[in-house]
Amino acid sequence: MNTTAAHHPTSVTVPIAALDDFCRAVLSAAGADPATCDAVTRAMLHGSRLGVDSHGVRLLHHYVTVMTGGRVNPRPQMQLASAFGAVASLDAKDGHGALAAYRAMDHAVELAERLGIGAVAIRNSSHFGPAGAFAVAAADKGYIGLAVCNSDSFVRLHDGAQRFHGTNPIACAVPLAESRPWLFDMATSAVPYNRVQLYKSLGWKLPEGVASRASGEDTEDPGEAEMLAPLGGAFGFKGAGLAGLVEILSAVLTGMKLSFDIAPMAGPDFSTPRGLGAFVLAIRPDAFVDIETFERSMRRYVETLRNSPARAGARVLAPGDREWEEADRRAADGVPIDPATQQAFRELASRFGVELPFAGRKAG
């Protein structure tokens, strides 16, 4: 099943440039400084362009809510809190997680330029959106990028019957000469929480075995989903273990809150900072092997992968291929906006006196 809002009869399709303008105008009207407006819009549009609608512009209403409510500082003075060799910590000052993650990755790249590798732990942050956006920020500069973040408990353990980890995403992007990056971006849950919200908006059933009721029993009704399953189905201990790795890098290593101590993203308290941690890493390839060898080997790996035999009626794809193909389609055709997000946009447009990006457009 297509997991985006595309092809749904009640979606409207909006040009990327119009969405960019709308998001920036709304965030600015809500009190965000230019750096925050830029980072938040850039991250959301990464999700919307690549078909990761659960972490795209549908988050705009939530971000405005937490900025105007006091949970997230819309004009933070972020600063490096400590530095040691190739390692640093960034104090996000309760600012938006996207701004913190982009700044941390920029510094990680600077460290990697001088030292071959750079790691930045992020403190006092907030929800940062699509992890892949920050990994790609490194790859676009010729570096291997890794980004992880924990979040409030919503995922049960393997065979567990209560929320424990957050969806705790892992993203890695690797530069590919004369092509867009190899991009791996995943939640360590079977699906991300915002995917459940998107399916609820679209009236779709969830895939089997990805969400549970409060009792731990599986459900395919997004309205009944009280927790998510860890990645892996019958082998969910693997997803739970990966979530634990993210937890250690994002919370233990930063001194921030563990998933089960973080206030829920969905409220009801939108005034108290949540104290999220995150972690980014940048690697300079030619610090390990000459750049020609790296590029040749990476190209051979990806081309061999794509040309490997496929099962009947299927096609083998490298990580990121599906997303980059969707980005090409959406660059030409626009981004589909689901019904709940349309309504949220109407409320924001009315509240801040900003023109809707889909004025005059029809659903379908």
Q: What is the model's pLDDT at position 35?
A: 98
Query: Which of 93 and 8 is assigned the larger pLDDT?
Result: 93
User: Class assignment of domain 16-287+341-352?
Assistant: alpha beta
Rounded-to-integer distance, Cα 20 and Cα 288, Å: 38
* Token duo for residue 237: 């201990």
Instruction: Decide: 228 and 189 in contact? Cβ < 8 Å.
Output: yes
Mean pLDDT of 3-28: 84
- Nearby residues of 314 by Cβ (< 8 Å), 6 or more positions away: none
Least Cα distance to 154 among 205, 199, 202, 188 occurs for 188
Q: Where are the domains of the chain?
A: 16-287+341-352
Rounded-to-integer distance, Cα 143 and Cα 138, Å: 5
First to last CA, the chain: 18
User: Which CA distances in Å does 269 have to 153, 263, 265, 296?
Assistant: 16, 8, 9, 51
Instruction: Decide: 101 and 134 in contact? Cβ < 8 Å.
Output: yes
Instruction: Decide: 200 and 223 in contact? Cβ < 8 Å.
Output: yes
Rounded-to-integer distance, Cα 127 and Cα 134, Å: 13
| Average pLDDT over the chain, rounded to an integer | 94
Rounded-to-integer distance, Cα 11 and Cα 5, Å: 7
Where do we find the tokens 């009280």?
A: 226
Query: Which of 234 and 325 is assigned the larger pLDDT?
Result: 325
Rounded-to-integer distance, Cα 260 and Cα 227, Å: 13
Mean pLDDT of 13-30: 98
Q: What is the model's pLDDT at position 3?
A: 47
Looking at residue 220, the DSSP 8-state letter turns out to be S
Cα 106 → chain centroid: 17
Instruction: Decide: 105 and 306 in contact? Cβ < 8 Å.
Output: no
Which amino acid is located at 115 in the chain?
A: L
Percent of the chain with pLDDT over 70: 96
Rounded-to-integer distance, Cα 89 and Cα 81, Å: 5
- Convert the pLDDT of each residue in 141-200 to its tens digit: 999 999 999 999 999 999 898 999 999 999 999 999 989 999 999 999 998 777 888 788
How many C-alpha atoms does 343 have within 13 Å on its Cβ side? 5
Rounded-to-integer distance, Cα 208 and Cα 217, Å: 11
Where do we find the tokens 């040691």?
A: 84
Q: What is the model's pLDDT at position 2?
A: 41
Rounded-to-integer distance, Cα 291 and Cα 179, Å: 15
- Convert the pLDDT of each residue in 242-269 to its tens digit: 999 999 999 999 999 999 999 999 999 9
Where do we find the tokens 């990680």?
A: 108
- Convert the pLDDT of each residue in 119-134 to its tens digit: 999 999 999 999 999 9
Band (1; pLDDT cuts 50, 70, 90): very low
Instruction: Decide: 55 and 42 in contact? Cβ < 8 Å.
Output: no
The predicted model scores a pTM of 0.92
Q: Per DSSP, which regions of 39-138 are E strands?
A: 79-84, 87-91, 117-125
Which amino acid is located at 165 in the chain?
A: H
Band (81; pLDDT cuts 50, 70, 90): confident
Rounded-to-integer distance, Cα 35 and Cα 19, Å: 18
Peptide bond into 268 cis (omega under 30): yes
Query: Which of 225 and 364 is assigned the larger pLDDT?
Result: 225
